[in-house]
Structure 1
Amino acid sequence: MARIALPLSRFAPTSKFPPVTKTLPNYLKVHRGPDQPNDRPSKAGLPPAASLDATEQFWNDFSCTTGWRLDRRAKRRGQPTQVLPSVSDVDMGSVLENRTHLEAIIDPAGHGVSAPHTPAAAHASAAQAHQDQDQSYGHGQANAPELLLGLGKIDATRLADSARRITDELEESREALRRQSMELAARASLIASDEETTRLADRIESLMSDAAMACGCDAAVLYLLDDDTEYLLPRAAFGMSPGTLSKPPRPLRGSRGDLEAMVRDVVTIDDFAAGSIDTWNAPEDFAAGICVVIKSAGVPIGTLWLFANEVIEFGKSEAAAARLVAAGIALELATASARRDHSSQKEENTVIREVAAWQHQSMPVGAMLAERWRVDGMIESPADWAAGWHTWDVLPDGTMMLAIAEAVDRSIAGAMHATVARAALASHTGYRHSPAQLLGRVGDTLWHTSTGEQLMSLLYAHVDPETGEGEVASAGNITAMIGSGYGYRPLVDGRGEPLNSHIDARPVTRTFRMLEGETFLAYTAGMFKDEAGQRALGEQLRRAMKSKDMNPLASIRRDMAGKSLDQERGAVSLLRW
């Protein structure tokens, strides 16, 4: 049945549209109906046009049905959706744009289209045309032409605008699927950006195109194994339907072509249909093909299939070209993965530097804490970050306090644990407390905000600036002593249990009294390796005090400058002079 699509609408004749006095040229477009399919044979293996590009097929159907076609130039210029007449032999645009009414008379005898001279004649002619058409259908004349009234331009534009939005979303979804396939192919959760992923997909598809051309093939599909090496998933395609990448994964078991390629590197199949049974289990419906393995560090990670529409005899040159392209694809994937790892490492280093800078800026600077009392501290770490901290302050009641802490975990996670302990200490020093009570409250915070891994060494001391009397509580491996020009006396041995080892803190507490010319020194395990090192540290403190050094910790640090920094070192000192 022949269909004649004509975009028409009714109109009353005005002076703007003079009567038509001659027969219009034959501009109607004849389309094949469903009962008259196209008899041209298609190439073997190629999907039908509708599956090749459903979007283009839709716009073809839209033009055939409505008589209007999408103006693609408007989209490129960034203009709103516009439509144009699907035929250009006759300038009917001015008529259709006014959405007036026009009667079309289709001559069943095939004499073309004629226009009436008057409105009455128009209606009479249209009625006669419909009557003749109905009579012809009633007598079984299946070949009679069918009159299809099209849409006006405004309605067609509105419909095209909605359809364009849908097709744009479809194209965006296809591109997103294409990028995600490349990300998964490169074994990277995020390569760098959408642009980088798109460039990787373009490079791989270009290699696949070159491989198909070199081997005399028409299409190519890249399949990669999943993490369990049980299924092959499509990751890139050339010369195939856009829906190829959305197909379900293929089981590796039973895929003879893929399995043989993983063993022999490359398999050439001149005819999939050769023999009584097709045992190759080709993933697509083609006549011939080549399957070549994709390897990473010598381990198969997938296969590349090259398909041909015709039966072809592949030789050694085609097999070599396929192997060469497979190596290039493997190199592209490895490079993308390495680039991603390098980018992640750079981002990680940037974060670590920011953490280290924050730690450095948040450490207090040595100063006079009270009259004739001077405090100072130090931290040296072999890493970019520190797992410890120190602080001091004057409490609301006038008591001086100082603290030093170090996480048992020396990694960046330990630095975070130390930060939590520091925040807990700052929140509990605003009201009356004893050193043991404060360690208990910090321990409670660590216990309730972790699963037990936030082990922390912490020493906290109170000193009365008037009398020099003080109290200290320590948990973990923080050691303390009091030294003068005549020697030193141990105060805390640093053999306690770290905070968060138990639900209740078990600190070691001591009381002391500092005289003029004495220094309170607390330090971590990195300051010495054994008891001999501790005695050497006490001797350094004695010499500094005997020489009337107003900053004995700086003197100790200068003496240790030549020693290797294998472990984080931290110390805090309080001098009464």
Structure 2
Amino acid sequence: MTHSIPDYLKLHIEETPVLADFPTAAPDLLTTLSDALLQATGWSMQYLDHPDPTSSNAEETLDLSETQAAIIPVLDTVQQPIGQFVIHPGKSQQTGPAATTLTAAKQLASAIGGLISMLEQSRETVWKQEAELATGIPVTVRKDEETHLAARLESILRCGAEAVGCQAAAAYLLDDDTSYLKLRSCWGLPKQRLLDPPRPLQGASTDLEALVGHSVILKDPSCLPDWLSGENVQAAVCVPISSPTVPLGTLWILSDTARSFDHHESNLVEMVAGRISAELEREILLHQQVGVHQQERQWQHAMAWQENRLPKNPPLSNNWKIAAATHQAEHIGGDFYDWNLLADDSLAVVVGDACGSTIESALTATTVQASLRAQTDLLRQPGELLNHINRLLWTGCTGDQFASLFAAAIDQSTGKLQYTAVGEVGGILLRPTTARWLTGNPLALGTQETSDYETVVEQLAAGDTLVLFSEGLLAGHRQHDTKAIQEALVAFLRQLKDVPADEMVDALIQWGQTPDQSLSAEDHTVLVVQRAG
């Protein structure tokens, strides 16, 4: 049996546009160049854009059968031809200056072709960058726009419907599961329609056809969907509302008279759907922008709060100089330092590195800092202090808080140094002629229930420098082996032996950020104590 195709259903399928090539150099300039070369060399060098030497067009333009004719291709950055120079004797060559040889003309054409290639590359780069820069325009709220999205959507629907001579419009959007279509905005329909339950997408043939990218025209009332029953609608057109990658819903433009929609009207309705999509995406971007700004302010507050936990003013002493700095890879991090002047005039210094993600490490670092300041009496006994911190981390969490710590106490009168190092922190005792690495237990605090960290004793003589640092200082040099990194750091410190403590700290922080920026994206802390000679 033969089935006739009804005339009340029409599909408008939009053809994918063909992208245009980037336009090449101005032809007038090239013509002027060719004329100048003819006068200067006696050779005609004509530039052909996207040429085909075998085409009839090229043959009609030039006689390529001449024995002295030559073709010099002009290539782009990927070695694809964008044009060519065709060289042949000029008709007025005998009346011009001394004729250039064909070889020299070829070399000249090749050099000019290279300049044209560079020019085309620069122009194409600017062409693309200008389009990319358009994406950097901030999304802002206009002072004169409607205060609510609902009013703006209804205005768009009204303008779209009136533009094609219709009396109503409705925008249906998909739910998160793409199972239902819910009326989100309408014009010309009763407002109580917004209270209707969502329509199932399954079985909604017109909406399904539109969602795959087609404009569906219904010009017979008998094929209108059931949800339009009770409304004075005789014809309709349905188009998709979509972003460049995701279908969002469907737009219905409704007419109270039986009619069709031509190609231009369908395109206009699709433009209205695109305007709705742009308005929805803009609203989403505005909400995201507000959220990003709020989050950025919170990050700034957190960063300032964490920085304020670090000591700013070192103890005043004629024989001892102390300086420190922390560089967090993100807004906040797990690195910190501290110093304190104890009751017996001893100088206590600490460098810490908490493990975990950005927020986790910052919280762990805060916990350790608070515990250190609460146990001031233990600062002169670093081993006992770190045993206490280990118990705190082990019993106070579920096994997800770890920290590395270098704690030291220095007797300012005698130079006696007592220290304990646990985890990925280190120190260097830099003397005028030697350098000694100070290390400790490699297991971080919080990884074991019991601990018995020992206090190591050293002596800081006049002219000695104590450098403490977290493991992140060496991160940018991991392409080398451990011994090479240690030698490089000691050699760098030798260059800084006569500079003040604060300048040494700044130089070391800078050293930790080079040479490989991708490897140095870690928190790192440096603390320097110098005993005057």
TM-score of the superposed pair, with normalisation by structure 2: 0.62
Percent identity over the alignment is 27
Shift of 1:523: 0.8
Does the 8 A contact of 2:321 with 2:501 survive in 1? no
1:243 is aligned to 192
1:425 is aligned to 372
State the Cα deviation string for residues 514-559 of structure 1 (Å, max 9, x = none). Answer: 33332222112233333323223334445655x4x5x346236437
1:522 is aligned to 468
Q: Does 1:484 align with 2:431?
A: yes
Shift of 1:413: 4.8
CA RMSD of aligned residues (A): 3.5
Please give the alpha-carbon distance, in whole angstroms, between the structure 2 residues aligned to 1:424 and 1:234. Answer: 58
Q: 1:230 to 1:269 in 2, by over 3 A?
A: same
2:76 is aligned to none
2:415 is aligned to 468
1:501 is aligned to 447
Q: 1:437 to 1:384 in 2, by over 3 A?
A: same
1:188 is aligned to none
1:438 is aligned to 385
Does the 8 A contact of 2:505 with 2:528 survive in 1? no
Computing the radius of gyration from Cα coordinates, the structure with the larger value is 1
Please give the alpha-carbon distance, in whole angstroms, between the structure 2 residues aligned to 1:487 and 1:397. Answer: 30
Q: Does 1:458 align with 2:405?
A: yes
Alignment of 1:132-281 (within 5 A): 198-274=147-223, 280-281=225-226
- Please point out which of 216, 235, 239 is paired with 1:292: 239
Please give the alpha-carbon distance, in whole angstroms, between the structure 2 residues aligned to 1:381 and 1:459. Answer: 18
Question: What is the one-letter code of the residue matched to 1:535?
Answer: E
Q: Does 1:510 align with 2:479?
A: no
1:404 is aligned to 351
Does the 8 A contact of 2:415 with 2:459 survive in 1? yes
Q: Does 1:574 align with 2:529?
A: yes
Does the 8 A contact of 2:509 with 2:526 survive in 1? no
Deviates more, 1:480-489 or 1:468-477: 468-477
2:104 is aligned to none
Please give the alpha-carbon distance, in whole angstroms, between the structure 1 residues aligned to 2:423 and 2:394. Answer: 15
State the Cα deviation string for residues 48-92 of structure 1 (Å, max 9, x = none). Answer: xxxxxxxxxxxxxxxxxxxxxxxxxxxxxxxxxxxxxxxxxxxxx
SS in 2 for 1:365: coil
Please give the alpha-carbon distance, in whole angstroms, between the structure 2 residues aligned to 1:192 and 1:500. Answer: 50
Please give the alpha-carbon distance, in whole angstroms, between the structure 2 residues aligned to 1:517 and 1:471. Answer: 18
Question: What is the one-letter code of the residue matched to 1:332?
Answer: E
1:535 is aligned to 487
Shift of 1:213: 1.6
Please give the alpha-carbon distance, in whole angstroms, between the structure 1 residues aligned to 2:382 and 2:141. Answer: 51
State the Cα deviation string for residues 5-33 of structure 1 (Å, max 9, x = none). Answer: xxxxxxxxxxxxxxxxxxxxxxxxxxxxx
Please give the alpha-carbon distance, in whole angstroms, between the structure 2 residues aligned to 1:467 and 1:214. Answer: 92
Question: What is the one-letter code of the residue matched to 1:407?
Answer: A
Q: Does 1:307 align with 2:254?
A: yes
Does the 8 A contact of 1:369 with 1:394 survive in 2? no
Unmatched tracts of structure 1, length 5 or more:
1-190
2:292 is aligned to 345
Question: What is the one-letter code of the residue matched to 2:462?
Answer: E
Q: Does 1:363 align with 2:318?
A: no
Please give the alpha-carbon distance, in whole angstroms, between the structure 2 residues aligned to 1:460 and 1:283. Answer: 77
Please give the alpha-carbon distance, in whole angstroms, between the structure 2 residues aligned to 1:427 and 1:492. Answer: 25
Question: What is the one-letter code of the residue matched to 1:220?
Answer: A
Shift of 1:499: 2.8
Q: 1:457 to 1:332 in 2, by over 3 A?
A: same
- Please point out which of 276, 282, 307 is paired with 2:227: 282
2:117 is aligned to none
Please give the alpha-carbon distance, in whole angstroms, between the structure 1 residues aligned to 2:176 and 2:266. Answer: 28
Does the 8 A contact of 2:501 with 2:529 survive in 1? no
SS in 1 for 2:148: helix
Shift of 1:385: 4.3
Please give the alpha-carbon distance, in whole angstroms, between the structure 2 residues aligned to 1:257 and 1:506. Answer: 76
Please give the alpha-carbon distance, in whole angstroms, between the structure 2 residues aligned to 1:233 and 1:437. Answer: 66
Please give the alpha-carbon distance, in whole angstroms, between the structure 2 residues aligned to 1:329 and 1:283. Answer: 22
Does the 8 A contact of 2:429 with 2:436 survive in 1? yes
Please give the alpha-carbon distance, in whole angstroms, between the structure 1 residues aligned to 2:304 and 2:241. Answer: 45
Please give the alpha-carbon distance, in whole angstroms, between the structure 2 residues aligned to 1:381 and 1:350. Answer: 17
SS in 2 for 1:208: helix
Please give the alpha-carbon distance, in whole angstroms, between the structure 2 residues aligned to 1:341 and 1:200. Answer: 15
Does the 8 A contact of 2:378 with 2:385 survive in 1? no
Please give the alpha-carbon distance, in whole angstroms, between the structure 2 residues aligned to 1:306 and 1:388. Answer: 61
Q: Does 1:330 align with 2:277?
A: yes
SS in 2 for 1:228: coil
Q: 1:314 to 1:352 in 2, by over 3 A?
A: same
Does the 8 A contact of 1:405 with 1:458 survive in 2? yes
State the Cα deviation string for residues 304-335 of structure 1 (Å, max 9, x = none). Answer: 22333444444434422221100111111122
Alignment of 1:381-400 (within 5 A): 381=328, 383-400=330-347
Deviates more, 1:450-459 or 1:324-333: 450-459
Does the 8 A contact of 2:171 with 2:186 survive in 1? yes
Shift of 1:254: 1.6
Aligned length: 379
Q: 1:249 to 1:434 in 2, by over 3 A?
A: farther
Please give the alpha-carbon distance, in whole angstroms, between the structure 1 residues aligned to 2:398 and 2:162. Answer: 60
Shift of 1:210: 1.4
SS in 1 for 2:177: coil
TM-score of the superposed pair, with normalisation by structure 1: 0.58
Does the 8 A contact of 2:417 with 2:458 survive in 1? yes
